Amino acid sequence: MVELLNAFISGLTQIFTFSTFMLMLVGIAIGFIVGILPGLGGPATIALMLPFIVKMNAVEAFAILLGMASVLGTTGDITSILFGVPGEPTAAATILDGHPMAKKGEAGRALGAVLMSSLVGAIFGAFVLALFVPIVRPLVLTFSSPELFMLAVLGLTFIASLSGGAMLKALLGAGIGLFLSTVGMDPQTGIQRFTFGQVFLWDGVGLVPITMGFFAIPEIIDLGIHRSSIAKEKVKKIGGVIEGVKDTFRHIWLVIKCSAIGTFCAIIPGLGPAVSQWLAYAQAQQSAKDKSRFGKGAVEGVLGPGASNNSSMGGSLITTVAFGIPASVLMAILIGAFLIQGLVPGPDMLIPDTKGGHLSLTFSFVWIIVISNIITVGICLLFLNQLVKVTYVRGSVIIPIILLLVYLGTFAEKNAFPDIILMLFFGVLGWVMERLGWPRPPFILGLVLGNLAETRLFLAVDSYGASWLLRPAVIVIMALTFAGVLIPILRSRRKGKTEEKEGVTEKEQGDRTDKKALGIRFTWSAAFSLFIIIVFAWALWYSRKFTFTARFFPMVIGIPVLIFAIIQFILDLTGKGKKVVEEVPGGEHEFEAKLPQDVVNRRTAGVFAWTFGWFLGIWLFGFNLGAPLCTFIQLKLGEREKWVLSLALTFVVWAFVYLVFDRFLNVPFPKGQFFLWTRHLF
Amino acid sequence: MKKNIFTMLFTLTFLILPLITYGSPPFFEGKTMRIMVGVSAGGGFDLHARILARHMPKYIPGKPTIIVENVTGAGGLICANQLYKAVEPDGLTFAHFNGGFLFAQALEQPGIEFDARKFGYLGCIAKENAVLWVTKASGLRSIEQLMASKTPVKLGGTGIGAYAPDSIIRIWKAVSNMPVQLVTPYKGGAQVRLAAEAGELAGSVISWDAMKAAWPKRFETGEAFVLLQAVEKPMKDLPKVPTDMILAKTEEGKKLIEVGVHLNNIFARPFVIGPNIPKDRLEILKAAFEKTMKDKEFLAECEKSRLPVDAVTGDELERAVMNAFKTPKPILDKLKDVIYKQ
């Protein structure tokens, strides 16, 4: 025990040597510069740093890397809130309420809340890392394939809380997400499932193009329709940063709970922040009294994901340090740093230095996370009020910038151009879902849990036969799952009865949807349901050629989805499905009601045209020329902005793309098609 | 004035003269070269490329800068395809990806858009050198015990087509009726090790260097054992562990192991350059690669990071790849069946 305490203190003192502390600051500074750029995020930058750490000692090396990583976890939330563009796929849940807050003019409050809750989460996660040192190995080893499968199932029960009342649609969405996770080469059989001969689909559909498309594109379209700034109202005091900080402490219990969720998910290989953000969001919603505020800018919806995201850093370091299992690309690069330093992740990292281990180094990680998060949040709080001003810039100027961030962010994650096409596809899908009242979070949750569920189910059966069902931990998780499903149902029944007594009418909600319905009986909703039916009928028919193992999961998911889709279609046709449309994200159509329908249609078409125009520009002329060109055309010819402004912004875009990405970060942009066609001319 | 002209002429002569006498500056001077790595950053595969990028420039005339770029997707196939199709044949870009794809072409697998026989080959820093290891809890201590096991021994895999563990285990099983069950796919070697620690698996077949780096003490303290090695001749630090040739009972069996395991071992981790590179540049790069493999700083850096160095020259590598394509059709057909069939 004394040894543990000694190592803990020694870990702290190690950071406060001059060179280590300076390197941590350098890491933080670099993190700031690149962290604010969506998609580029950590991995690419941290990989760039690897060669430099060869000559450093271990504490210095990790000071710079973890310092950088800590900032990246925090800054991803900023673009989510300000623009509705997820800075990282793990910051998507922050959009649901963070961006509506920005629209209400409360960007400052949302940012204050997300930063403060991030800080609490990070500190929580770091200290869990420290406390768990003695028990981390036995704890992680409890979770074998059967338990991991059951955890994936348990995670799926959170769909109910993410449904926003549209239960059938939520189930369908989750099913579609689960099904989509089977796209790619099945690693068990080597069979290509739904890849259409495209090698880039072998690994399945990436999370970045989906979250970018799903959340950012509908926001861009919304912005294009209103043609106003992001913030539609000016709020004085309540919109301030300090208010958000106070919110964190008003809901401190929620923040702690969500930090725990984030840490726990990060400890379990295969879960991680991509999952825990949604569980945290669901938790925030469940524990709130008035659930109808969610999706319209409830601060709890920002606090939950904010806390869980940053707490996952400590959690994922646990598996990285103790087992050498990276929970994310970022952690994989940290393992690379371990290797370069000649360190071996494993039991040695948890043994006191006096016994030949590196425990004080492990504890120094705890302190680096804590201190660099405090510094980061401190700096952010200083500049937040400036950042918030961006939400008051007029839409015509801000849209090209957001489009650039979306295209760059989507591309730069894997340097893959096909991801951009996927992003556009999911952008359209996300927009349709948003318009028709389909909750998007269950879809994402299904997608991120699908792989884990499928592989671990097969591994469990392969290893244990049917006896995996009898493992004690499996039974416990199963009980939790049933409780998770049944309790909300019972609760809502009871609530339903009381509401009936109080005479809450559903008519209001019904009226609102009628405005969206463009047809009489065969509505757009029905058309979309029919589309799902056709796609799934085809997909099931197509999968008949697979072997049993490759077909099993798609069948088990696909058949219920098909049945539910048929029910939904009938409900849509008969008009009964319209009762429940209170969607989780974005209930902001109240502004639109003021605009005549033909104006809305025209502007929607316009903003779609710009979005695809950008694609065309980048495809034809590459990023270096295409992006500035599109910016200029959109500003000068499209929006008729002044020459000075148009040229200045075009220059900024060019400098950003060419100097930062191409020259400095060496991002390998593809050549424009135009130049490939005309190659022989030059 | 006169003096000035004189100085100018003097300077010019001394600036231009060397250029005339030594010819034009080396092609690689002032250039930036790229290594495309087929996996994401952080693992041993990626680190090898990064360390190479730091030391190889010394041996290329003109000392270019070399940067590493991760081109991930489809286990590295996207990287290999891109190298073949989309890279300028100027000798400034080469790649490091899973060499199993080179063999996958010989086995007519889908998705391959290159011709391995047209690539240029620079060499390998290391071979895969896989071993069959088990945990103490498995109760197994020798290959004989394993062969006599009544119940199938569970060995972890990382997905169909992975040279180690999956392909090697499948080939061994096919030639010897080894009582093993391949449980697959775990996400990477680290997950396999974790499952073995948790008792879900008995062990697996993974690169000996990777195992030594991950479990530095366990093989010495008797917490894990090596039962068999997938190499032609026993490795230096495993003199007593039998090689997998003992499994082959027939001529065909021997050939399957020779080609499917040992030959593949040579080109498991290749550094490859695209087709149609000017011959002189290719030779410069091959020579530079070979010299780097003996560079003291390079070796020291690999050792510090516990990364193996067991170099293969460009010529050896190219011969191994060509030999794979010259394998008799019946053997290739059989291997295709064994490695990829359900």
**Which site among A52, A182, A189, A464 would you substitute to test the B interface, given the most B Cβ atoms closer than 10 Å to its Cβ?**
A189
Asked whether residue A502 carries a pLDDT value surpassing 80, the answer given is: no
Within 8 A of B183 by CB-CB distance, chain A residues are: 459, 462-463
Pair of tokens at residue A426:
């999911």
Among the partner residues A46, A197, A339, nearest to B305 by beta-carbon distance: A339
Q: Do both A493 and A546 map to the same domain?
A: yes
- The better pLDDT of the pair A58, A568 is held by A568
Q: Do both A171 and A85 map to the same domain?
A: yes
Query: So what's the pLDDT on residue A230?
Result: 87
Confidence band for A467, pLDDT divided at 50, 70 and 90: very high
Do residues A231 and A105 make contact, with C-beta atoms less than 8 angstroms apart?
yes
CATH 3.40.190.10 range(s) for chain B read 130-263
What value does the mean pLDDT take over residues A488-499?
71
Confidence band for A488, pLDDT divided at 50, 70 and 90: confident
CA distance B213 to chain A (A): 7
CA distance B64 to B91: 12
CA distance A158 to A145: 21
Helix axes A418-435, A597-632, angle to 10 degrees: 160
What value does the mean pLDDT take over residues A364-368?
91
Do A46 and B41 lie within an 8 Å CB cutoff?
yes
Least confident of A576-580, B22-26, B130-134: A576-580
Do B54 and A324 lie within an 8 Å CB cutoff?
no
What value does the mean pLDDT take over residues A383-409?
87
Q: Do both A201 and A259 map to the same domain?
A: yes
Confidence band for A508, pLDDT divided at 50, 70 and 90: very low
Within 8 A of A416 by CB-CB distance, chain B residues are: 73, 78
CA distance A164 to chain B (A): 34
Do residues B150 and B328 make contact, with C-beta atoms less than 8 angstroms apart?
no
Total structural domains in chain A? 2
Burial label, B220 (beta-carbon count in 10 A; 0-12, 13-18, 19+):
exposed
Within 8 A of A325 by CB-CB distance, chain B residues are: 190-191, 194
CA distance A45 to A37: 11
Instruction: Work out the mean pLDDT of chain B and round it to a whole number.
Output: 91
Query: So what's the pLDDT on residue A268?
Result: 84
Query: So what's the pLDDT on residue A580?
Result: 46
What value does the mean pLDDT take over residues B150-163?
93
Asked whether residue B201 carries a pLDDT value surpassing 90, the answer given is: yes
Do A339 and B50 lie within an 8 Å CB cutoff?
no
What value does the mean pLDDT take over residues A249-275?
91
Nearest to A434 by CA among A318, A524, A310, A332: A524
Q: Indicate the helix (H) or strand (E) that contains B154.
A: strand B153-156
Is A588 among the domain residues? no
Q: Do both A529 and A669 map to the same domain?
A: no
Do B43 and A202 lie within an 8 Å CB cutoff?
no
pLDDT tens-digit map of A155-171: 998 888 888 778 899 99
What value does the mean pLDDT take over residues A633-645?
91
CA distance A47 to chain B (A): 6
Query: So what's the pLDDT on residue A515?
Result: 46
Measured at the alpha carbon of residue A574, what is the angle toward residues A568 and A577, in degrees to the nearest 5? Answer: 45
Is A586 among the domain residues? no
Do B159 and A187 lie within an 8 Å CB cutoff?
yes
Query: So what's the pLDDT on residue A581?
Result: 46
Q: Do both A612 and A527 map to the same domain?
A: no
Percent helix, strand and coil across chain B, each to the nearest 5:
50, 15, 35
Confidence band for A500, pLDDT divided at 50, 70 and 90: low
- Cα distances (angstroms) measured from residue B233 to each of A652, B167, B170, B206, B260: 61, 20, 21, 17, 16
Q: Do both A556 and A654 map to the same domain?
A: no
CA distance B230 to B166: 13
Do A462 and B183 lie within an 8 Å CB cutoff?
yes
Q: How many CB pairs under 8 A join A and B?
A: 150
Do residues A80 and A87 make contact, with C-beta atoms less than 8 angstroms apart?
yes
Listed residues A579, A604, A638: the one ending a domain: A579
Residues recorded for chain B: 342
Residues recorded for chain A: 682
Asked whether residue A504 carries a pLDDT value surpassing 60, the answer given is: no
Q: Which of A267-281, A383-397, B139-153 has maximum average pLDDT? A: B139-153
Do residues A250 and A287 make contact, with C-beta atoms less than 8 angstroms apart?
no
pLDDT tens-digit map of B177-200: 999 999 999 988 888 999 999 999
pLDDT tens-digit map of B244-264: 999 999 999 999 999 999 999
CA distance A666 to chain B (A): 8
Among the partner residues B111, B184, B214, nearest to A202 by beta-carbon distance: B111
Asked whether residue A501 carries a pLDDT value surpassing 70, the answer given is: no
Q: Where are the alpha helices (DSSP H) in A163-291?
A: 167-180, 207-211, 217-226, 241-250, 252-267, 273-287
CATH 3.40.190.150 range(s) for chain B read 32-126+269-327
Asked whether residue B166 carries a pLDDT value surpassing 50, the answer given is: yes
- DSSP structural state of residue A105: T
Which fold would CATH assign to domain B130-263? Answer: D-Maltodextrin-Binding Protein; domain 2 (3.40.190)
What value does the mean pLDDT take over residues B59-83?
90
What value does the mean pLDDT take over residues B225-229?
97
Q: Which residues contact A299 (CB under 8 A, 6 or more apart)?
A: A97, A101, A109, A110, A113, A244, A247, A251
Do residues A61 and A12 make contact, with C-beta atoms less than 8 angstroms apart?
no
Do B43 and A332 lie within an 8 Å CB cutoff?
yes
Q: Do both A349 and A403 map to the same domain?
A: yes
Is A590 among the domain residues? no
Within 8 A of B198 by CB-CB distance, chain A residues are: 141-144
Nearest to A360 by CA among A370, A352, A369, A368: A352
Asked whether residue A464 carries a pLDDT value surpassing 60, the answer given is: yes
**Which site among B305, B336, B338 would you substitute to test the A interface, given the most A Cβ atoms closer than 10 Å to its Cβ?**
B305
Within 8 A of B184 by CB-CB distance, chain A residues are: 187-188, 459
Cβ atoms within 10 Å, residue A286: 16
Asked whether residue A674 carries a pLDDT value surpassing 80, the answer given is: yes
Q: Where are the alpha helices (DSSP H) in chain B?
A: 2-22, 44-55, 77-85, 100-106, 143-147, 168-176, 188-197, 208-214, 218-221, 251-257, 264-266, 279-292, 296-304, 314-326, 329-340
Is A77 among the domain residues? yes
**Which site among A53, A145, A192 would you substitute to test the B interface, given the most B Cβ atoms closer than 10 Å to its Cβ?**
A145
Among the partner residues B191, B199, B216, nearest to A269 by beta-carbon distance: B191
Is A453 among the domain residues? yes
What value does the mean pLDDT take over residues B285-292?
97
pLDDT tens-digit map of A116-127: 999 999 999 998
Asked whether residue A472 carries a pLDDT value surpassing 70, the answer given is: yes
Q: Do both A307 and A358 map to the same domain?
A: yes
Do A459 and B40 lie within an 8 Å CB cutoff?
no
Find residue A185's DSSP bridge partners.
A192
Do B73 and A200 lie within an 8 Å CB cutoff?
yes
Is A239 among the domain residues? yes
Is A402 among the domain residues? yes
- The better pLDDT of the pair B221, A5 is held by B221
What value does the mean pLDDT take over residues B48-73?
91
Host domain of residue A635: 595-681
What value does the mean pLDDT take over residues A311-335?
84
Confidence band for A521, pLDDT divided at 50, 70 and 90: low
What value does the mean pLDDT take over residues A458-462?
93
Query: So what's the pLDDT on residue B114?
Result: 95
Q: Do both A153 and A299 map to the same domain?
A: yes
Query: So what's the pLDDT on residue A520?
Result: 47
Least confident of A589-603, A640-654, B73-87, B206-220: A589-603
Asked whether residue A511 carries a pLDDT value surpassing 50, the answer given is: no
Q: Where does B32-126+269-327 sit in CATH, by number?
A: 3.40.190.150
pLDDT tens-digit map of A605-636: 999 999 999 999 999 999 999 999 999 999 99
Q: Do both A612 and A469 map to the same domain?
A: no
Query: So what's the pLDDT on residue B290?
Result: 97
Query: So what's the pLDDT on residue B105?
Result: 96
